[in-house]
Amino acid sequence: AQSVAQPEDQVNVAEGNPLTVKCTYSVSGNPYLFWYVQYPNRGLQFLLKYITGDNLVKGSYGFEAEFNKSQTSFHLKKPSALVSDSALYFCAVRDYGQNFVFGPGTRLSVLP
């Protein structure tokens, strides 16, 4: 069965510093990986997805994600954090049955 782990419940970073939100996955077969962001009292918004062959994926709002097959990781990164990036971030994997499996979420706080 597919699974996703986000080992940090909370990540704090100062504005202007680089940020990383971690995600590891377990799948049988090729991984179909996604990052979503949720702002307070809103639905989830798509940020980016892994495309086979590209180890560094660029997405919305300046975010990018680094795929590492040997470590089964898909960490979300941004070179310079903004206060407005503060939100709840979810990593997800899609299985061959077309269902999405979500991680528990990581709350990012960017401090001014």
Beta bridge partners of 76: 21, 65
**Residue 41 is which amino acid?**
N
Q: Is 100 in the site for other proteins (CB under 8 A)?
A: yes
Task: Specify the 3-state DSSP secondary structure of 21.
Answer: strand
> Going by DSSP bridges, is the β-strand pair 56-58/73-78 parallel, antiparallel, or unpaired?
unpaired
Binders of other proteins: how many residues, by CB under 8 A?
A: 24
Residues 9-38 that bind other proteins (CB under 8 A): 9, 32, 34, 36
Distance CA 103, CA 3 (A): 8
Q: Is 74 in the site for other proteins (CB under 8 A)?
A: no
Among 16-24, 61-69, 72-80, 94-102, which window interacts with other proteins (CB under 8 A)? 94-102
Q: Which is nearer to other proteins, 34 or 85 (CB)?
A: 34
Q: Which of 54, 62, 80, 96 binds other proteins (CB under 8 A)?
A: 96
Q: Which is nearer to other proteins, 89 or 110 (CB)?
A: 89
Q: Is 90 in the site for other proteins (CB under 8 A)?
A: yes
CA angle 93, 90, 75 (to 5 degrees): 75
Q: Is 50 in the site for other proteins (CB under 8 A)?
A: yes
Q: What string of H, E and C letters represents the secondary structure of 28-44? A: CCCCCEEEEEECCCCCE
Q: Is 44 in the site for other proteins (CB under 8 A)?
A: yes
